[in-house]
């Protein structure tokens, strides 16, 4: 490896609450250290005698990848047994004596942080390691993250999709590390989260995974997400906060609730309601409940409004509102819940500020967590000044990709407006629910959004949700993963990393996905019209309209890219297997589009009989390929139950039918 390289990577610094440091220095003139030489182990892995689970797992992951690269398995020993080792080089993982004598005090590291350093004959990876399951997002696994950073940078590992085939580990016979490596890193966002989508159930389970495959898929995806360093440094709760307040407090304090059409509280006993967010009694109650429940020690107060537009018409709420922006309704469909509503962002901003300032008297570090959503989505216009203790989930209604340039700019201006008002933000969008199992690719437009947010106060993410379409939507999903650790990276370079796993077929695979991305991006008006026409939902019932957006013949025509790709790697079995993985995704999309055309509930002529043969072919295909992990089939079954005319047949368990 190069001895003179000096690389410093700066990541967007957001605020004092998310300190970001990531730097790598390779000083000149120092010796290199072998970990593997000529395919034989030249190092051992040393862990503390009382290492937590996540350090044991870090050792296992390090060894797994080194073995996959070189064929050599390193010995793993605890510190007290290390004296008897024959290997010259040592890799110390976790809070070892070697780490402490190198001056690394893991207790002073922030959650999920690590230091990666080499001395003359040792590589030290020591992080902040909490107790708990290393695969759990809430476990601080700094050492494990240090191992992944090492594998990515030093071994060139690319985790492209869940499972062994998707884990690209370049083959080597030697692994050498510069004896001058010094990296300290904290993940750039304190929460990095894409909802896993593993809980989908359907009334038609035969369309989904067999139970055994579902369990194995869940495991593989969970491992994959950790390899991409999904997790969180701090747990904070949010979600619609006042859903049970009316039955609890409505009789005694109707003034805390919306004043709408001349009355306080829900319009009908069962209907959703919003709060009278300007009411000082409401603010006091929220803070007193927080004091009661946590003694004021919790650093987060959830004030996310109920799942309904802000409706209060009382004088004080209205007085808190700012001027309506001229383009307030510009990008909402006439049937949107937002259509025709009042612009109320300023009252919600002032609500957050009022609760935060009241609570700060008890705990200056407290943060209030709200949403920007519905008719309080666009940035405030009254000049209200927020602060870093106001944390807002960015939750658009609509705004699906592809967007027109104007719509895209409008969304980014909205984000920027809230940031300029002083709030910190987390991305809480639904965009990854889109696309069904089709090559609906919005990789670059999404990345542009993510990077814009990262430059403007984004401290966390919560994407709803992964649908697991790894073969059909690979580039979008790869960027979703990679940008969480490298938000400032060049997007084409990240995509090139993804394509590199296909070896010599990379240019053909790039052409294949560029074709679909270009088609998706230039097809916006037609896609939107189809969804309006078919009355299909982008997140719930795509399979009513998929055949219209992606006709079977158009899908089939794109297979020539895959065929050329396969020819280019005919002599590279691993790359060929990956190309065939994408082919499985495409063939599956073709079969699914065929069934959509025959069974969609949007066509009065659909009958179960008409689609029976095609449906059987699709389900047999799913059963034959389910263990490739090309798709989360249970998510598809959930979409299809809301999209197709089905019979009792698919209500059977997948182990019993067909
Ligand atoms: Zn009010």
- Burial category of 551 from C-beta neighbours within 10 Å (exposed 0-12, middle 13-18, buried 19 and up): middle
Query: Ligand 1 centroid to 265 CA: how many Å?
Result: 11
Helix 491-500 vs helix 506-522: angle between axes, to the nearest 10 degrees? 130
- Report the distance separating Cα 606 and Cα 599, nearest Å: 5
Å from CA of 271 to ligand 1 middle = 18
Distance of CA 358 from the midpoint of ligand 1 (Å): 19
> How many angstroms separate the Cα of 285 from the Cα of each of 45, 69, 296, 320, 387?
54, 59, 13, 20, 22
CA of 371 to the centre of ligand 1 (A): 18
657: in domain = no
Residue 200 lies in a domain: no
Ligand 1 center to residue 388 CA distance, Å?
26
Q: Is residue 198 part of a domain?
A: no
Q: What is the mean pLDDT of residues 412-427?
A: 98
Measured in Å, residue 516 CA sits from the centre of ligand 1 at 48
Whole-number pLDDT of residue 385: 98
Phi-psi bin for 535: left (phi > 0), alpha (psi -120 to 50), beta? left
pLDDT in tens, 455-492: 999 999 999 999 999 999 999 999 999 999 999 999 99
How many whole angstroms from 624 Cα to the centroid of ligand 1? Answer: 58
Is the dihedral angle over the CA atoms 504, 507, 510, 511 positive or is it negative? negative
For residue 347, the CA-to-ligand 1 centroid distance in Å is 9
Mean pLDDT check: name the lowest of 2-16, 355-369, 393-407: 2-16
User: Is the predicted pLDDT of residue 450 greater than 80, yes or no?
Assistant: yes
Q: How far is the CA of 421 from the centre of ligand 1 (A)?
A: 22
Position 588 confidence tier, pLDDT thresholds 50, 70, 90: very high
pLDDT at 26: 45
Distance from residue 277's CA to the centre of ligand 1 (Å):
6
Select from 146, 219, 221, 207 the least CA-distant residue to 477: 221
* Cα–ligand 1 centroid distance for 335 (angstroms): 26
- Say how many Å lie between the CA of residue 360 and the centre of ligand 1: 23
Which DSSP category does 309 fall into?
-
Judge if 314 and 351 occupy the same domain.
Answer: yes
Query: By C-alpha distance, which of 206, 233, 24, 319 is closest to 652?
Result: 206
- Residue 275 maps to a domain: yes
Are 292 and 365 contained in the same domain?
yes
How many whole angstroms separate alpha carbon 338 and alpha carbon 102? 58
Distance from Cα 581 to the centre of ligand 1, integer Å: 55
Considering the domain architecture, whether residues 579 and 594 belong to the same structural domain is answered as: yes
Nearest to 401, CA basis, from 427, 377, 429: 429
> 290 — phi, psi (to 5°)?
-65, -40
User: What's the Cα-to-Cα distance from 467 to each of 54, 403, 528, 639, 642, rounded to whole Å?
Assistant: 27, 21, 21, 10, 16
Region 182-200: mean pLDDT is: 97
The residue ranking higher by pLDDT, 533 or 441, is 441
Ligand 1: centre distance to CA 309 (Å):
13
Choice between 501 and 85, residue whose per-residue pLDDT is larger = 501
For residue 264, the CA-to-ligand 1 centroid distance in Å is: 9
323 CA → ligand 1 middle, Å = 17
Q: Which two tokens stand for residue 298?
A: 């919790």
The reported pLDDT for the residue numbered 249 is: 98
The rounded Å distance from CA 419 to ligand 1 centre is 25
Residue 28 pLDDT > 90 = no
SS3 assignment, position 26 = strand
Residue 49 CB neighbours (<10 A):
10
- Residue of 285, 268, 286, 278 whose CA lies nearest to 310: 278
User: Residue 474 domain-assigned?
Assistant: no
Of 420, 449, 467, the residue that ends a domain is 467
248 Cα to the center of ligand 1, angstroms: 19
Domain identity same for 288 and 333: yes
Asked if 249 and 179 sit in the same domain, the reply is no
CA of 293 to the centre of ligand 1 (A): 26
Ligand 1 centroid – CA 386 distance (Å): 20
Q: What is the mean pLDDT of residues 148-156?
A: 96
Is 199 within a domain?
A: no
**Residues 272, 218 share a domain:** no
Half-sphere exposure in the Cβ direction for 368 (13 Å, CA):
28
Tell me, in angstroms, the distance from the centre of ligand 1 to residue 311's CA. 8
Ligand 1 centroid, distance to 6 Cα (angstroms): 58
Stretch 67-81: mean pLDDT, rounded? Answer: 96
Q: Are residues 11 and 136 in the same domain?
A: yes
Same structural domain, 365 and 386: yes
Expressed in angstroms and rounded, the spacing between residue 276 Cα and the centre of ligand 1 is 4
Residue 569 inside a domain? The answer is: yes
- Angle of CA points 303, 309, 312, to nearest 5°: 80
The Å distance, Cα 315 to ligand 1 centre, comes to: 7
- pLDDT digit string (tens) for 537-560? 999 999 999 999 999 999 999 999
Q: How far is the CA of 274 from the centre of ligand 1 (A)?
A: 9
Q: How far is the CA of 310 from the centre of ligand 1 (A)?
A: 10
Q: Would you place residue 30 in the very low, low, confident or very high pLDDT band (cuts 50, 70, 90)? A: low
CA of 508 to the centre of ligand 1 (A): 59
C-alpha of residue 319 to centroid of ligand 1, in Å: 9
Taking only Cα atoms into account, the Rg of the chain, rounded to an integer number of angstroms, comes to 27
Distances (CA, A) of 589 to 38, 472, 555, 592: 44, 8, 8, 5
- Name the average pLDDT for the chain: 94
pLDDT at 334: 84
User: pLDDT tens digit string along 202-253?
Assistant: 999 999 999 999 999 999 999 999 999 999 999 998 999 999 999 999 999 9
Distance 279 CA to ligand 1 centre (A): 6
Task: Look up residue 333 and give its two tokens.
Answer: 């469909």
Q: Are 522 and 622 in the same domain?
A: yes
φ/ψ of residue 116, rounded to 5: -125, 115
What's the 322 CA to ligand 1 centre distance in angstroms?
A: 14
Say how many Å lie between the CA of residue 420 and the centre of ligand 1.
Answer: 26
Strands (E), 334-394: 367-372, 390-394
Give the Å distance between the CA of 280 and the centre of ligand 1: 10
Q: Of 128, 157, 186, which marks where a domain is finished? A: 186
**Average pLDDT for residues 591-599, to the nearest whole number?**
98
Termini Cα distance of the chain: 55
CA of 334 to the centre of ligand 1 (A): 26
Ligand 1 center from residue 320 Cα (angstroms): 9
3-state secondary structure 198-235: CCCCCCCHHHCCCHHHHHHHHHHHHHHHHHCCCEECCC
Q: 309 with 453, same domain?
A: yes
236 and 224 share a domain? no
Domain extent at residue 250: 231-467
DSSP-H helix ranges across 545-607:
546-549, 552-557, 559-568, 573-599
Q: Which of 132, 152, 186 is the last residue of a domain?
A: 186
Decide if 193 is inside a domain: no
User: HSE-up of 432 (CA within 13 Å, CB side)?
Assistant: 32
Provide the number of structural domains found in the chain: 3
Same domain, 365 and 280: yes
């Amino acid at each position: 490896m190069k001895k003179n390289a000096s690389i410093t990577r700066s990541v967007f610094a957001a605020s004092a609450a998310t300190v970001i440091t990531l730097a790598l220095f390779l000083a000149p003139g120092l010796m290199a250290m072998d970990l593997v030489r000529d395919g034989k182990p030249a190092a051992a892995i040393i862990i503390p005698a009382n290492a937590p689970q996540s350090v044991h797992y870090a050792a296992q992951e390090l060894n797994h990848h080194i073995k996959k690269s070189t064929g050599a398995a390193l010995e793993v020993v605890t510190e007290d047994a290390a004296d008897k080792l024959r290997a010259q080089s040592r890799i110390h993982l976790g809070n070892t004596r070697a780490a402490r004598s190198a001056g690394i005090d893991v207790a002073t590291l922030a959650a999920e942080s690590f230091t990666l350093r080499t001395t003359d004959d040792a590589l030290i990876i020591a992080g902040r390691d909490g107790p708990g399951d290393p695969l759990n997002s809430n476990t601080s696994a700094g050492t494990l993250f240090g191992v992944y950073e090492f594998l990515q940078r030093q071994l060139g590992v690319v985790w492209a999709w869940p499972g062994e085939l998707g884990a690209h580990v370049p083959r080597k016979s030697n692994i050498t590390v510069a004896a001058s490596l010094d990296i300290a890193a904290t993940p750039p966002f304190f929460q990095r989260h894409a909802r896993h989508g593993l809980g989908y159930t359907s009334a038609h389970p035969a369309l989904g995974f067999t139970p055994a495959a579902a369990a194995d898929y869940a495991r593989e995806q969970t491992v994959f997400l950790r390899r991409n360093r999904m997790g969180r440094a701090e747990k904070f709760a949010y979600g619609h906060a006042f859903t049970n307040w009316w039955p609890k407090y409505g009789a005694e304090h109707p003034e805390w609730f919306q004043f709408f059409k001349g009355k306080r509280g829900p319009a009908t006993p069962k209907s959703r309601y919003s709060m009278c967010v300007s009411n000082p009694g409401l603010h006091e109650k929220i803070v007193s409940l927080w004091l009661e429940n946590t003694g004021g020690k919790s650093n987060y107060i959830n004030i996310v409004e109920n799942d309904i537009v802000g409706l209060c018409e009382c004088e004080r709420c209205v007085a808190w509102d700012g001027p309506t922006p001229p383009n307030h309704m510009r990008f909402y469909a006439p049937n949107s819940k937002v259509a025709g509503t009042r612009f109320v962002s300023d009252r919600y901003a002032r609500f957050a500020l009022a609760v935060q300032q009241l609570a700060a008297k008890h705990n200056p570090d407290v943060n209030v967590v709200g949403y920007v959503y519905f008719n309080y989505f666009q940035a405030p216009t009254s000049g209200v000044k927020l602060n870093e203790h106001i944390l807002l989930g960015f939750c658009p209604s609509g705004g699906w990709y592809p967007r027109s340039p104007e719509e895209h700019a409008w969304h980014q201006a909205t984000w920027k407006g809230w940031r300029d008002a002083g709030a910190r933000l987390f991305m809480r969008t639904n965009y990854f629910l889109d696309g069904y199992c089709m090559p609906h690719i919005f990789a670059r437009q999404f990345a542009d959004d993510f990077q814009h947010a990262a430059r403007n106060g984004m401290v966390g993410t919560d994407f709803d949700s992964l649908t697991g379409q790894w073969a059909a939507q690979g580039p979008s999903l790869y960027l979703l993963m990679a940008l969480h650790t490298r938000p400032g990276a060049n997007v084409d370079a990240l995509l090139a990393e993804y394509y590199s796993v296909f070896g010599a077929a990379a240019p053909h695979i790039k052409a294949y996905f560029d074709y679909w991305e270009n088609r998706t991006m230039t097809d916006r008006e037609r896609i939107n019209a189809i969804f309006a026409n078919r009355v299909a939902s982008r997140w719930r019932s795509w399979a009513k309209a998929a055949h219209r957006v992606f006709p079977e013949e158009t899908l089939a025509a794109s297979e020539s890219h895959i065929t050329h790709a396969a020819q280019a790697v005919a002599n590279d079995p691993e790359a060929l297997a990956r190309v065939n993985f994408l082919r499985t995704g495409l063939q599956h999309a073709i079969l699914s589009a065929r069934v959509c055309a025959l069974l969609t509930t949007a066509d009065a002529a659909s009958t179960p009989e008409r689609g029976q043969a095609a449906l059987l072919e699709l389900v047999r295909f799913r059963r034959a390929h389910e263990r490739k992990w090309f798709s989360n089939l249970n998510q598809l079954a959930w979409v299809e139950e809301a999209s197709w005319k089905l019979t009792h047949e698919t209500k059977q368990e997948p182990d019993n039918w067909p």
